[in-house]
Amino acid sequence: MIHGYKCDDDGRLIAAEPLPDNLQLLVWVDMVDPSPLEEATVEQQLGLNVPTKEEMDEIEISSRLYSDQDAAFMTVILPAQSEGDDPEMLPVSFVLAAHRLITVRYHDPRAFQTFPVRAGKVAMGCETGEGVLLALLETIVDRLADILERAGRDIDGISRGVFKRRSAKPTQTKDFQAVLETIGQKGDLVSKIRDSLATLDRLTGFLSQVTLQRKSAKEARDRVKTLSRDVRSLSDHASFLSQKITFLLDATLGMISIEQNAIIKIFSVAAVVFLPPTLIASVYGMNFQHMPELSWPFGYPLAIGLMIISAIVPYLYFMRRGWL
């Protein structure tokens, strides 16, 4: 599928519906899961080689950031379906050729949904493909910032849950299991966003060189520098969240150890408390012929009393020492 966009006299982006036969009239050509026929059409009319899905999946920088004749090819990893903790991470290619932008993607990041709507209402400098690229990248960075902000709020909520004052009743293991699963999901999300920001950081560095070679306006070069600073600040924030997640993971495992120790302490105290009564019962349970207490009228109550007293004394001692 191919989406085409033109720019009106006021600098707003307008969807070209239906798609014109001459793609040269468009300022932005957005290719979504293109078919071989659509790829051939774009290549023939715009005179460039559209990156294939296999080429976009290459991890080498030379395969993701390069120039071919007068066109600059840039590929980054972007998240889609990022409302949850398991976004779909796939590459998106940006091709800056002449005065138009061509994008190639096989998923639907949120920025590609919100940007055309916003650019259709507000002039965002989309008169050229370079302007469309800069405005689209700014929207992408804003979207990644929103994802990190949401992840930060969720991590703060997990932190409050882990460190809140607990009752004397031991916490069930399944509660901590749910916390560990949530921490793992947040860690995976932040890790994926960090990977995306790393590719964007390389893209902004490459784009800065492209704007110098194309002798772009100073405003465009300044926007690229601002994008680069924003991406690096988000990368630092993602690193901070990653460290916080690691701390929460260690803290949760420590809490689990504390809860397990509390349970073991209960069994240990119970064993010590019942050890003296067991000893007394064992002594009076021996079948010797000459045991004076066996002929006493109050021998049985005496044995029972000794067992009760021997159980109470260790318990009171533990209480006084603060071990319970």
How high is the pLDDT of residue 290? 67
Say if residue 280 is in the same domain as residue 137: no
Q: What are 2-29's pLDDT values in tens digits?
A: 888 888 877 788 888 887 778 778 888 8
Which amino acid is present at 67? S
Do 82 and 147 meet the contact criterion of CB atoms below 8 Å apart? yes
Q: In the 8-state DSSP scheme, what is residue 297?
A: T
How high is the pLDDT of residue 24? 79
pTM over 0.85: no
Tell me the C-alpha to C-alpha distance, in Å, between residue 72 and each of 36, 68, 132, 309.
Answer: 22, 6, 14, 88
Q: Domain containing 133: what range?
A: 2-259
How high is the pLDDT of residue 213? 83
Say if residue 144 is in the same domain as residue 243: yes
Say if residue 228 is in the same domain as residue 273: no
- pLDDT mean over 42-66: 82
Share of the chain above pLDDT 70, in %: 94
Which segments of the chain does DSSP mark as H helices, in order? 36-46, 53-56, 61-64, 111-121, 129-163, 173-213, 218-284, 299-321
- pLDDT mean over 134-141: 92
How high is the pLDDT of residue 226? 93
Question: Regarding beta strands 2-7 and 13-15, do their DSSP bridges make them parallel or antiparallel, or are they unpaired?
Answer: antiparallel
- The CATH code of the domain that includes 92 is 3.30.460.20
Name the residue with higher pLDDT: 263 or 239. 239
- The CATH code of the domain that includes 317 is 1.20.58.340
Q: What are 152-199's pLDDT values in tens digits?
A: 999 998 888 888 755 555 555 557 788 888 889 999 999 999 999 999
Say if residue 214 is in the same domain as residue 273: no
How high is the pLDDT of residue 124? 80
Name the residue with higher pLDDT: 172 or 242. 242
Number of independent structural domains in the chain = 2
Say if residue 83 is in the same domain as residue 173: yes
The answer on pLDDT for 129 being more than 80 is yes
How high is the pLDDT of residue 171? 52
- pLDDT mean over 261-287: 76
Say if residue 145 is in the same domain as residue 174: yes
